[in-house]
């Protein structure tokens, strides 16, 4: 029965996506469609990390964006300032984001694990604010402009929109990670154990599985995902500063996670793309509508509209489980 | 079912908390409208409009931080009659300040009293009489100075007893706000290093009638609410004599309106005119956007010989009139406006990519740009990614800074921006003292942010000199309104009158040179092409 529900949800999501794409193409918004997909991929990457933590521990992690921003800062410092080779700097950057995630788990999450989820939610928000303060302290308040590692800008042209290598890389990374994580949770013992911990921690512990180790593993993994998200999206955006991922991608990423279903990893992928497309449509489509064109930041408004509508109508999201 | 409810509750709680957290963390960065600009009279009253002690003998070393007579909160509907101080007074002519208009009924009578030097009489009740109800209460120059002509629709004048807030025998305290964060990739200490160079240079030459200038600097975070907050802090806590705005149209408009409501002189580089016209205490030290437009349009038609123009501005109400101005002039010059758009102050990746793509599709050869440097660089980078490289051009203050070329090249191409100050390539010819002084006081080569501060300081210095030895806010405003020309050879020549607050005569035109990743001056003190 659950499988039937899941496949029906997937069918509904696919149908909605196809109808939206067809409508946009018919109304001359083909370019907005392409732009939405390539920008939404970044949101999907952030959403993956949010879903992973929520799926494993029921915690909404406000600090997700900052794990990624720390990775970007580390990479920038090491590569651009000190001259460490790019690959090595990237690995150290990813290690830094994983270390921050692990530190959060050990110092904040574990002591509060039995507290109400809202307490944990506020605690992760505290971690995010602390991380932003540290970035301000260490890296100044200024924006840093960076160039993509992959320089080719015109790899593909779709409906007149050129898609750069860096954007293709983000899209490919999102797709690959969503599939790999989906397989990890459905096909591996470790993945199933993590799910078991999230649903029945006491029973899982009685089965000889270390809840603490699994918790550490999950947070390290989400730190890794955030680091990848930060390193891949910062060159696409072209700049970063303190709070980069939190201010640029946390709300759209959260909306993508809710839209896809807070527990569905492929849903995070789908949600990210849908949010990106909706944002892009708002930016280009509202320009010619008398009242709507007055809205400052129509893309951001659209994200909130989606969030409210999904929470009101289908809180479990497109691909999430209802029970 | 229970688990689903838990999911939903957590998701909803997260959404609400997320929105609150981000609003707090961002300092409400997203478009704060004009409404935030002018503090209400109630706000001002709550902030504790200081009781005037103007006219206090200005002896000793201590800066007068009494608040002065020009600082009580105005409020529409207050009583107290027209100002009568000084040898002459100008009757009120209607039109209260925006702040006053918005707060009818909030009485603020009985404010300042005080015997002013010279012929000043007590000004019972700090009346926010509208336009220019100004009088110079025996200000500075021995009393009996002529009252400045009213500014139509202006705010209450800093009338009545002499107001020497922020001035002592040895010091003049000046407050500056600038968007160190939020608008451009400014190095954190760039403003700090340059802010005192001119004043140190001047101090060695005897200062301003023996007084040295002390600068109080605040970051407004490119946010109008924050700008009003820091301006209020500088006026009410730091007790500055005048306020200066370095850049950012919304922030300048917001602070100028606040300063006007408090009777504090406020000067900035020229930005929009909308929202600043009619403010009694506001003066632009360089051309406004509107004033730069005719030279800009003539450059496009006669030098660039292009015909297809797109207009892109930040989506802020303060720029509505600027958009109308450039549209009208471009159409009159026969330019084909192929696209007009407004982009969010903190535009997302998606928004900027969409805009770049739309500009490319429109076929615009020249893009008139009036956005923050951050948005400009990101837009140009997205344009380049779409194989679109138009000529970016615009008025402004900050888009011609070298940091923009450093971060934006090669995407910005040969971008051209008007500027109140020239670039470093010609400064040694125009004013050799700048680099020498910067080297002397900071131990390195001066940058263009320091040059912008040097130029602005030089204008202010000449104005303070013109106000005379017996410096007060009244004598300062009188000197500005006298029609005298202030020449610096860095900023354009500027002069004002009772009705003219946008008195600059020319501007510099800068062009990006991506080989050197810097801007060069291609026209100095130009009025047109």
Q: Tell me whether residue B335 is in a domain.
A: yes
Q: What is the pLDDT of residue B81?
A: 34
Q: Is B46 exposed, middle or buried (0-12, 13-18, 19+ CB in 10 A)?
A: exposed
| Whole-number average pLDDT of chain B | 75
Q: d(Cα B96, Cα A96) in Å, to the nearest integer?
A: 58
Three-state DSSP state, B142: coil
B10, B18, B349 member nearest A39 (Cβ): B349
| DSSP codes of every residue in A17-81 | HHHHHHHHHHTT-HHHHHHHHHHHHHHHHHHHHHHHHHHHHS---TTHHHHHHHHHHHHIIIIII
Q: Is residue B116 within 8 Å of residue B160, measured between CB atoms? A: yes
pLDDT of residue A174: 83
CB contact under 8 A, A279 and B351: yes
Check A254 against B342: CB less than 8 A apart: no
Q: What is the DSSP string of B75-117?
A: -TT--S-S---SS-B----S---HHHHTTTT----S----PPS
Is residue B224 within 8 Å of residue B251, measured between CB atoms? yes
Instruction: Work out the percent of chain A whose per-residue pLDDT is above 90.
Output: 18
pLDDT for B18: 54
Please report how many Cα atoms fall inside a 13 Å half-sphere around the Cα of residue B227, on the Cβ side: 34
Which 8-state DSSP code applies to residue B149?
A: P
Among A35, A125, A144, select the one facing B353 at the smallest CB separation. Answer: A35
Its domain, for residue B76, covers: 66-155
Q: Which of B33, B250, B349, B382 to mutate to test the interface with A (most CBs of A within 10 A)?
A: B349
> Is 0.80 surpassed by the pTM of this model?
no
Of the candidates B490, B480, B484, B464, the residue with the CA atom closest to the CA atom of residue B213: B464
What is the pLDDT at residue B51?
31
Q: What pLDDT is attached to residue A150? A: 73
Angle at B52 between CA B47 and CA B57, to 5 degrees: 140
The pLDDT value given to residue B139: 33
- pLDDT band at residue A219 under the 50/70/90 scheme: very high
Please indicate, yes or no, whether residues B179 and B107 belong to a single structural domain of this protein. Answer: no
CATH code, B371: 3.40.50.2300
**Range with the lowest mean pLDDT among A119-128, A251-260, B85-94?**
B85-94
Mean pLDDT (whole number) for B106-133: 33
B46 located within any domain? no
| Residue B209, number of CB atoms within 10 A of its CB | 14
Instruction: Identify the H or E element spanning B245.
Output: strand B242-245
Q: Domain end: B120, B155, B190, which one?
A: B155
Domain shared by B239 and B264, yes or no: yes
Position with higher pLDDT, B107 vs A203: A203
Which pLDDT belongs to residue B46? Answer: 37
* Alpha-carbon dihedral A171, A176, A178, A181, rounded to 10 degrees: -150
Q: What is the pLDDT of residue A200?
A: 78
Q: Does B268 lie in the same domain as B278?
A: yes
> Is the link from the previous residue into B410 a cis peptide, with omega within 30 of 0?
yes
Over residues A60-93, the pLDDT tens digits come to 899 999 999 999 999 988 888 888 998 999 999 9
Identify whether the C-beta of residue B355 lies closer than 8 Å to the C-beta of residue B341: yes
Cα A23 to chain centroid distance, Å, stands at 27
Interface contact flag, A247 B7, Cβ < 8 Å: no
What integer pLDDT is reported at residue B187 of this predicted model?
67
pLDDT at res. B14: 57
DSSP state of B123: -
Cβ contact B185–A316 (<8 Å):
no
First-to-last alpha carbon distance for chain A, in angstroms, is 11
Residue of higher predicted confidence among B474 and A263: B474
- Residues facing residue A157 across a β-bridge: A162
Of the listed ranges A77-81, A223-227, B122-126, B359-363, the one predicted with least confidence: B122-126
Alpha-helix residue ranges (DSSP H) falling in A58-139: 64-75, 86-104, 117-139
Same structural domain, B274 and B192: yes
| Residue A312 in this model has a pLDDT that exceeds 50 | yes
CB B522 within 8 A of CB B509: yes
Of the listed ranges A98-107, A195-204, B97-106, the least confidently predicted one is B97-106
Which are the contacts of B383, defined by CB distance < 8 A and separation ≥ 6? B356, B359, B360, B389, B390, B411
Residue B9, SS3 per DSSP: helix
CA angle, corner A64, sides to A267 and A301, nearest 5? 65
| Residues forming a β-bridge with B175 | B216, B243
Say if the Cβ atoms of B350 and A118 lie within 8 Å: no
Q: Is A256 exposed, middle or buried (0-12, 13-18, 19+ CB in 10 A)?
A: buried
Residue among B477, B475, B473 at smallest CA distance from B163: B473
Domain boundaries, chain A: 2-313
The matching CATH number, chosen from 3.40.50, 1.10.3470, 2.40.350, 1.10.1060, for A2-313 is 1.10.3470
- Quote the pLDDT of residue A99: 95
Q: Out of B10, B316, B344, whose CB is closest to A60? A: B10
Q: Output the pLDDT for position A27.
A: 64
Length of chain A: 323
Of the candidates B343, B378, B185, B350, the one whose C-alpha atom is nearest the C-alpha of residue A167 is B350
Average pLDDT over residues B38-63: 36
CA distance A311 to B41: 41
Query: Among candidates B65, B346, B509, B498, which has minimal Cα distance to A300?
Result: B346
Please give the pLDDT value at position A313. 80
Cα three-residue angle A121-A225-B15, rounded to 5 degrees: 30
Residue B474 pLDDT > 60? yes
Residue numbers in A near B373 (CB within 8 A):
none
The closest alpha carbon to A127, from A240, A119, A304, belongs to A119
Per-residue pLDDT for B141 more than 50? no
Asked if the structure places residue B312 within a domain, the reply is: yes
Q: Is the pLDDT of residue B339 over 70?
A: yes
Q: Residue A30 — very low, low, confident or very high, per pLDDT cuts 50/70/90?
A: confident
Put simply, the answer to whether A283 touches B1 (Cβ < 8 Å) is no
Q: In this complex, do A296 and B15 lie within 8 Å of one another by their Cβ atoms?
A: no
Check residue B77 and give its pLDDT: 34
Q: Rg of chain B over CA atoms, in angstroms?
A: 24
Q: What are the tokens at B424?
A: 């470093």
Looking at the structure, tell me whether residues B356 and B276 fall in a common domain: no
Dihedral sign from CA coordinates of A157, A161, A164, A168: negative
Least confident of A177-191, B73-87, B491-505: B73-87
| Interface contact A31, partner B, CB < 8 A | yes
pLDDT digits (tens, 9 = 90+) for B154-208: 444 445 678 899 999 999 999 999 887 766 656 667 778 888 999 999 999 999 9
The predicted pLDDT at position B232 comes to 95
As a whole number, the mean pLDDT across chain A is 82
User: E strands within B148-231?
Assistant: 171-178, 212-219
Rg (CA), chain A: 20
* Per-residue model confidence as pLDDT tens digits over A140-194: 667 777 777 776 767 777 777 888 888 888 888 888 888 888 888 888 888 888 8
- The verdict on a CB contact (< 8 Å) between A121 and B19 is no
Question: What pLDDT, on the 0 to 100 scale, is given for residue B255?
Answer: 95
Secondary structure E strands in B405-458: 416-419
Q: Report the pLDDT value the prediction gives residue A247, as an integer from 0 to 100.
A: 85
Residue in A35, A239, A311 nearest the CB of B12: A311
Shortest Cα distance, chain B CAs vs residue A231, angstroms:
15
User: What own/partner pairs with CB < 8 Å and gap ≥ 24 does B332-335 have?
Assistant: B333/B297, B333/B298, B333/B300, B333/B301, B334/B301, B334/B307, B335/B297, B335/B300, B335/B301, B335/B307, B335/B308, B335/B309
CB pairs under 8 A between A and B: 168
Chain B residues near residue A9 by CB distance under 8 angstroms: none
The answer to the question of residue B250 being in a domain is yes
Q: For residue A238, which residues of chain B lie inside 8 Å, CB to CB?
A: 377-378, 381-382
User: 3-state DSSP call for residue B343?
Assistant: strand
Report CB contact under 8 Å: B377, A315: no
ipTM: 0.75
Asked if residue B51 is part of any domain, the answer here is: no
pLDDT at residue B488 in the model: 93
Q: Check whether residue B410 and residue B431 sit in a common domain.
A: no
**Number of Cβ within a 10 Å radius of residue B502:** 20
| Count of domains forming chain B | 3
How confident is the model over B256-284, as a mean pLDDT?
A: 93
pLDDT at res. B160: 60
Give the pairing type, strands B391-394 and B416-419.
parallel
Please check whether residues B182 and B236 belong to one and the same domain.
Answer: yes
DSSP B38: S
Dig out the tokens for A80 from the structure: 């651009």
Confidence band of A321 (pLDDT split at 50, 70, 90):
low
Of B339, B400, B401, B399, give the one whose Cα is nearest residue B366. B339
Q: Residue B84: name the closest of B56, B57, B113 by CA.
A: B113
Torsion, CA B149, CA B154, CA B159, CA B164, rounded to 10: -100
What percentage of chain B reaches a pLDDT higher than 90? 49
Torsion over CA: B236, B241, B246, B252 (sign): positive
């Amino acid at each position: 029965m659950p499988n039937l529900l899941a496949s029906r949800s997937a069918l509904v999501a696919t149908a909605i996506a196809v109808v939206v794409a067809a409508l946009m193409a018919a109304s001359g918004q083909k370019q907005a469609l392409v732009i939405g997909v390539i920008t939404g991929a970044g949101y999907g990457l952030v959403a993956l990390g949010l879903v992973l933590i929520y799926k494993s521990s029921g915690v909404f992690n406000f600090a997700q964006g900052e794990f990624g921003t720390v990775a970007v800062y580390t990479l920038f410092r090491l590569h651009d300032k000190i001259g460490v080779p790019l690959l090595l700097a990237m690995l150290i950057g990813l290690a830094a984001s994983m270390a921050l995630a692990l530190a959060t788990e050990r110092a904040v999450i574990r002591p509060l694990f039995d507290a109400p989820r809202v307490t944990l939610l506020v605690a992760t928000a505290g971690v995010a604010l602390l991380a932003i303060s540290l970035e301000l302290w260490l890296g100044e308040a200024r924006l840093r402009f960076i160039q993509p590692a992959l320089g080719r800008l015109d790899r593909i042209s779709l409906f007149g929109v050129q898609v750069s290598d860096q954007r293709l890389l983000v899209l490919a990374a999102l797709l690959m990670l969503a599939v790999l994580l989906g397989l990890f949770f459905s096909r591996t013992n470790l993945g199933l154990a993590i799910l078991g911990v999230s649903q029945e921690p006491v029973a899982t512990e009685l089965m000889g599985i270390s809840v603490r180790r699994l918790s550490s593993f999950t947070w390290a993994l989400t730190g890794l995902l955030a680091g990848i998200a930060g390193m891949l999206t910062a060159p696409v955006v072209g700049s970063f500063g303190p709070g980069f991922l939190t201010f640029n991608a946390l709300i759209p990423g959260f909306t993508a996670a809710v839209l896809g279903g807070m527990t569905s990893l492929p849903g995070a992928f789908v949600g990210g793309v849908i949010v990106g497309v909706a944002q892009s449509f708002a930016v280009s489509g509202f320009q010619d509508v008398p009242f709507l064109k007055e809205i400052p930041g129509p893309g951001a408004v659209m994200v909130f509209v989606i969030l409210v509508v999904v929470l009101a109508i289908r809180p479990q999201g497109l691909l999430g489980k209802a029970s | 079912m229970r688990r689903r409810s838990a999911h939903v509750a957590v998701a909803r709680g997260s959404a609400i908390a997320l929105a609150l957290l981000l609003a707090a963390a961002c300092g409400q960065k997203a478009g704060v409208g004009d409404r935030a600009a002018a503090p209400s009279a109630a706000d001002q009253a709550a902030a504790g409009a200081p009781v005037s002690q103007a006219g206090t003998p200005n002896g000793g070393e201590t800066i007068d931080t009494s608040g002065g007579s020009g600082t009580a909160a105005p409020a529409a509907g207050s009583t107290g009659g027209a100002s009568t101080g000084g040898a002459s007074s100008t009757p009120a002519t209607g039109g209260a300040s925006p702040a006053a208009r918005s707060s009818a009924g909030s009485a603020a009578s009985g404010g300042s009293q005080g015997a002013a030097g010279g012929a000043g009489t007590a000004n019972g009740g700090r009346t926010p009489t509208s336009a220019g109800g100004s009088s110079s209460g025996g200000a500075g120059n021995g009393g009996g100075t002529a009252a400045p002509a009213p500014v139509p629709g202006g705010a209450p004048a800093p009338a009545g007893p002499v107001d020497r807030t922020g001035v002592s025998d040895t010091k003049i305290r000046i407050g500056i706000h600038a968007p160190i964060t939020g608008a451009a990739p400014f190095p954190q200490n760039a403003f700090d290093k340059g802010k005192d160079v001119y004043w140190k240079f001047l101090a060695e030459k005897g200062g301003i009638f023996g007084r040295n200038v002390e600068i109080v600097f605040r970051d407004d975070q490119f946010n109008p609410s924050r700008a009003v907050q820091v301006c209020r802090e500088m006026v009410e806590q730091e007790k500055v004599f005048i306020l200066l705005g370095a850049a950012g149209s919304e922030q300048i408009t917001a602070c100028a309106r606040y300063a006007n409501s408090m009777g504090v002189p406020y000067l900035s580089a020229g930005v929009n005119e909308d929202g600043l016209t009619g403010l009694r205490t506001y003066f632009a030290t360089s051309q406004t956007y509107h004033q730069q437009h005719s030279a800009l349009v003539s450059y496009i038609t006669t030098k660039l010989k292009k015909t297809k123009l797109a207009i892109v501005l930040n989506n802020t109400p303060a720029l509505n009139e600027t958009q109308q101005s450039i549209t009208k002039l471009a159409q009159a010059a026969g330019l084909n406006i192929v696209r007009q758009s407004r982009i969010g102050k903190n535009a997302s990746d998606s928004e900027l990519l969409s805009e770049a793509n739309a500009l490319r599709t429109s076929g615009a050869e020249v893009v008139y740009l009036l956005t923050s440097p951050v948005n400009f660089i990101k837009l140009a980078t997205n344009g380049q990614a779409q194989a679109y490289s138009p000529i970016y051009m615009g008025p402004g203050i900050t888009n011609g800074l070298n940091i923009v070329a450093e971060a934006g090249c090669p995407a910005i191409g040969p971008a051209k921006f008007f500027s109140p100050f020239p670039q470093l390539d010609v400064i040694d010819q125009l004013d050799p003292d700048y680099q020498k002084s910067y080297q002397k006081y900071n131990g390195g080569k001066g940058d263009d942010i320091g040059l912008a501060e040097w130029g602005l300081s030089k204008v202010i210095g000449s104005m303070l000199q013109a106000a005379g030895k017996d410096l007060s806010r009244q004598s300062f405003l009188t000197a500005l309104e006298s029609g005298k020309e202030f020449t610096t050879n860095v900023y354009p020549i500027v002069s004002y009158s009772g009705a003219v607050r946008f008195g600059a005569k020319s501007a510099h035109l800068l062009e990006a040179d991506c080989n050197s990743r810097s801007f060069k001056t291609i026209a100095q003190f130009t009025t047109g092409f």
